[in-house]
Chains A and B, each alone.
Chain A
Amino acid sequence: DAGVTQSPTHLIKTRGQQVTLRCSPKSGHDTVSWYQQALGQGPQFIFQYYEEEERQRGNFPDRFSGHQFPNYSSELNVNALLLGDSALYLCASSLRDRGAKNIQYFGAGTRLSVL
């Protein structure tokens, strides 16, 4: 049973560029959430997708956008990269119908470095 997979594992970009990160959820899961984890901090919620729509959003600017595909996989796009966007980006999948009790399963993350 494949868990949550993310690609790429590492990425180096320069300021002003755009980046796309990808996530395949755990088999059977329909909901994908994205988190940003800066060094020495806990993950911060970016947004959540299910039924191919953004359902909840954290305090992140519009430069951060996403997409969910019919097979439940998801992409995170970041435009006009800033140095402060350097972080580990985590994808988590879950089943929507369990409400607050849904357990999120995390991928290993994509390490983004902005130079």
Chain B
Amino acid sequence: DQQVKQNSPSLSVQEGRISILNCDYTNSMFDYFLWYKKYPAEGPTFLISISSIKDKNEDGRFTVFLNKSAKHLSLHIVPSQPGDSAVYFCAAKNNTNAGKSTFGDGTTLTVKP
């Protein structure tokens, strides 16, 4: 039973346009959500996070939206740049098991020049 799902294995966008990556979760105990970016031959790198008490968090070109009722979150990248091409992982955790992150299977983003 996969508790965090990223239903789009891949996404391709044009440079300068918006990239929207989606993530769904099933466990209502999750109260903290994170996005990681992974380049080949490197480990995942933290990108942005959001607490369940918020519905939006913004950091530069990156914005994460959380819809708790739908158990859905999304990552918006505006404007997209070729250097953003990577695998993006959505992850979730709860405060009682803070050391354990549950990851989705990732979405490969390709930004074309």
Contacts and interface: CB of A to CB of B under 8 A. Distances in A.
Interface of A: 4, 31, 33, 35, 40-45, 48, 50, 55-56, 58, 90, 92, 94, 96, 98-109
Chain A at the B interface: SS class: mixed
B63 interface: no
Contact of A100 (B4, B32, B45, B89): B32
Interface of B: 4, 6, 31-32, 34, 36, 41-46, 49, 51, 89, 91, 93-95, 97-106
Contact of B100 (A40, A45, A96): A45
Contacts of B31: 100
Nearest to A94: B99
A42 B2 CA distance: 11
B96 to A, nearest CB: 9
Contacts of B104: 42
Nearest to A50: B99
B99 A31 contact: yes
A33 B45 CA distance: 15
Given A43-B44, A106-B44, A55 B106 contact: no
Contacts of B91: 42
